[in-house]
Amino acid sequence: MDLSEIKLVTKSKKAKRRGRGTGSGLGKTSGRGHKGAGQRKGKKTPYIGFSGGNIPFFRQLPKRGFTARNAKEYQLVNLITIQERAKGNTELTPEVMEELNLIKNKKKLIKILADKTDKFNLKLTIKADKISKKAKEIIESKGGGFECLKR
């Protein structure tokens, strides 16, 4: 005997015959119970979250906050991480930032931020979509520049 000769034994379960007399155990109401929408023939299955006619749980919770439909999501890049990774470069474009693993996707919007400490000392021209005031001041004080990308 080998594994190829083994056959699965499945027990087939017979369908319950409903409405065939009280002796069958599923006679009279046919397992639907007494009265109400569940007993009627056009019964609809309630939606997810339905709690027997009470106010559903998700409607009991307070609504909080606001989400803008046209909100822009920026990839944030810190000046200190730029200093650590972009030492040989003179110009930082989205393509270069992606190569240096500063951002994940060059097609998404980019914002340059300054850290609390201004230990930045590279002379760079950075091309990004947005920049913070402090980051712009630090870059310009070191002799660099910033170009805003119109995307």
Structural domain boundaries in the chain: 74-148
Q: What is the pTM of this model?
A: 0.58
Residue 46 has pLDDT above 80, yes or no: no
Whole-number average pLDDT of the chain: 89
Mean pLDDT of 88-93: 90
Task: List b or e across 30-45, with b for residues whose CB sees 16 or more CB atoms inside 10 angstroms.
Answer: eebeeeeeeeeeeeee
Give the DSSP letter of residue 88. S
For the chain, percent of residues with pLDDT exceeding 70: 99
Residue 33 has pLDDT above 80, yes or no: yes
> Which tens digits make up the pLDDT trace of 112-146?
999 876 788 899 999 999 999 999 999 999 999 99
> Which tens digits make up the pLDDT trace of 72-90?
999 999 999 999 898 888 8
Phi first, then psi: what are they for 94, rounded to 5°? -55, -35
Indicate the CATH number for domain 74-148: 3.100.10.10
Q: In 32-127, where does DSSP find H-type helix?
A: 57-60, 79-85, 94-99
Query: What tokens does 138 get?
Result: 């630090």
